[in-house]
Each structure stands twice: as C-alpha cells, then as structure tokens.
Amino acid sequence: MKRSFMSVMVVAAVAGAVVAGVGAAQATTTTALTPVAIRPGPSATLQADADALRKYGAPGVLVVWDTSHGDGRVRSGYGDAGRRTPVAWDAKFRIGSYTKPFVAATVLQLVGERKMSLDDKVERFLPGLIRGHGNDGRKITVRQLLQHTSGLPEYTNAMAAMGTEEGFQESRLRTWTSAELVGLAMRFPADFAPGTRWSYSNTGYVVASMIIEKVTGHTWQQEVRNRIVRPLGLRDTYLPGVTPTIPRPHAVGYQRFPGPGATPEDPHYGEPIDATLLNPSLAGPAGEMISTADDANTFLRALVTGKVLKRAQLAEMQRTVETDDNLRARWPGARYGLGIVWADNSCGGYWSHGGDIPGFMTRNGVTPDGSRSVTVSINTDSLKPDPGVRLPTVDITTELVDHALCNAR
C-alpha cells in the first residue's frame, strides 16, 4: 500500500476513491462570509478549482479562505451522496494529521516554560518505553520526535488488516491506548539511526503526547484544549478521545478498500462505504482531532503570527529539514519543521500541514505573515478519478491552495 505523509494510517493512505455516480450531476455553490464582501475574482476562481477536484474523485468539497481583504467560501459536490445534499458550510470533519501542529505547539509551550528541552532524550521521561529492534529511547530527542527524524517505525505497520473492508469493520470501534500503539511499533526494526534521515512517523507523535502527560500530569487532550483550543476561541474544535461520532453538521466520510495491487484507475477499485463512525483512538495524537474550516484557519494564522508560541519557540518550529522524494513530489520544495511543513508556491511559499484519516482529507496553507489562509475539506481520503483521468503527482489541491494564497486579494 502507498503511504502518504499526511496519513495517520498506512491503510488509509491509498490514493483512490469517490462514490460511484456522484460526478454525474455536480452541486456547486459559492458565498461570502458576512459582513465582509468578496470580489467576484477569487470566488469564481476557487469555485472552479473546487469543481475541478470532483474529477479526481472527491464526493464533496468545502473550501474556506481568510484574507486581509475578506473571507469567503465555496463548495462543490455532495456531503451525502445518497441524499444528494451539499457539504454544510459549517461542517465538522476529522482533520487527521493536522492534529500534529497542535501537539507540537503544546510541546513547544512546555519548552518555553522550561519544563523540558527539545534536546531531552525520550528516556528521561519514559524510561524503557522505546527498546528493541534497534529502537532506543536513550538516543532519540524530543526534537526528533516532532521533526520525523527519530527513525521510529510506524505503528500502523501492524494494522494491515484494517486495509480490508472486513478488517476495518471489525476494528473501527476498538479503543487503543498510546502505550498499545507504541507497543505495536516496537515489533518492527528502527527505520534508521536517530537524526540521520527523515521519514514520516505517526509513532513519534504518540510518544510526544506521552511526554506531555508525564510532564504536566494531564492528558495531552486536556493540555491542547487548555493551551490552544480555548484561548483561541476554537469553539468547534474537538479532541474526541474514544468517541466515535462527529458533532453535527458533518458530511458522510466515504472510504474504499481496493484489492491487492489495485490502482485508482482500476474500474474495480472497491465500492465506497460510510466510514464516518470511527473510534479515533487508533490515531490519537497523530490524528484524532475534529474541527471546522473556520477554526482550522484561525489556528493556522494564530500559529504563524506568534499568538500561540513565544518568538524563540516559533523559530524552532519553523526551522526545517530536508524531507524525502515522495513528500517533495506531492508538495514541491517541501521541508519539515516541528509539526509544520514549508512548501513552495507561485508567491514565495507557505506553511501547511494536512491530514488523511478514513473518510476525510484536510488540506490547508497560510502565508508566512499570516495575512491569508485557506482550508480544504474533502469527504474521502481514498480517491478514484473519473474514467480517463489520472491522479497528478502533486497533491490534488495544489492549484487551489496556490490561488487562494497568491491570487485571492
């Protein structure tokens, strides 16, 4: 199976899938958020971009952008393909790995409070947790956990059964603890020696969350909620823990489970199922959270403008390292900081961190000065393009995000 850097699960990262028949009749709508008016240009361009995502297999698309000249939103397709209803303007959705910047920012706040250091070893807080098959918590730093340079193997390697519809249905409501997830990862050899390479690892963020809990005496969810969600007024952002439902309104999250060796262009690429109901503990601090596009934009802009972190810690977050060919192919110029990605675009570059989790795909971007941001929600993370259409090598939202950040003025 293909592993996506944004995905919280290997089994959820296969590029493929849309609900059969949805593309036959498009539902498209556009509006501006009151009381600020949007000029026709940006809305028309981004509406066309949202409509274009349908050919790649997006059942429904919601786009919300925020600029110094006004805010706006467009949508396309269906939030519920069976009922042929659009995605609600204020839809809640699983944000997948967009959870990671919240976790990283929480760790960095603790660093700013001198309760820990980025150069502390995992062993200081969690003695004996990381051991075996070349994995050694005595050699891995907190920075490397957040930066994906720890070499820790993916715990999702042990969840291959969830890559089938039968396995998904059997396990979708199971509760996982952080210790159990790390235990799964420890079955596998280290990917590389700490600090010698970059490779996306959800396991690193599970370990980071356990350090938050050790340092504070509270769950990572409590710390994120008290330090970030509440101070920023993110009233529609949730840390659900083991709750499998999504607060209303929300789109139906669709998921396909292709057979071995199938590609998205295969006509028999698996029939979509409703994957909305899911115990998010399988993602935990690597991708558990639920939010809205408005809240997602608010957090992005607050993060890069220093409303979440002190200057020194924000600088640490934005110190980037080289990534791998896969990430750079999907996001040209991509470099990774601490829970945030830098990527190139036509107006100089932007910060971002998307997420994939069964049923939902989140993409976003914010300009370096925080003056413009955009969030895209798609109600599947398993795309199946229209006949004759091939998925691009870059992420399917690349052009839309570029237009929102560089042209929506």
Catalytic residues: 97
Side-chain-facing half-sphere of 131: CA atoms under 13 Å: 5
| Nearest to 350, CA basis, from 363, 367, 364 | 367
Kindly list the distances between the CA atom of residue 253 and the CA atoms of 82, 357, 389, in Å, as whole numbers in the listed order.
12, 10, 23
Contact 171, 224 (CB under 8 A): no
Rounded to 5 degrees, φ, ψ at 251 are -80, 165
Q: How far apart are CA 58 and CA 67, in angstroms?
A: 25
Q: Which residue has the tokens 């050899």?
A: 189
Rounded to 5 degrees, φ, ψ at 383 are -80, 135
Contact 300, 294 (CB under 8 A): no
Which residues have CB under 8 Å from 1's CB, separation 6+?
A: 10, 11, 13, 14, 163
Q: Which two tokens stand for residue 83?
A: 């009922």
| Nearest to 200, CA basis, from 336, 350, 58 | 336
Q: How far apart are CA 187 and CA 283, in angstroms?
A: 18
Q: Which two tokens stand for residue 248?
A: 């209303």
The C-alpha angle 217, 310, 202, rounded to 5 degrees, equals: 55
Q: Name beta bridge partners: 377.
A: 62, 362
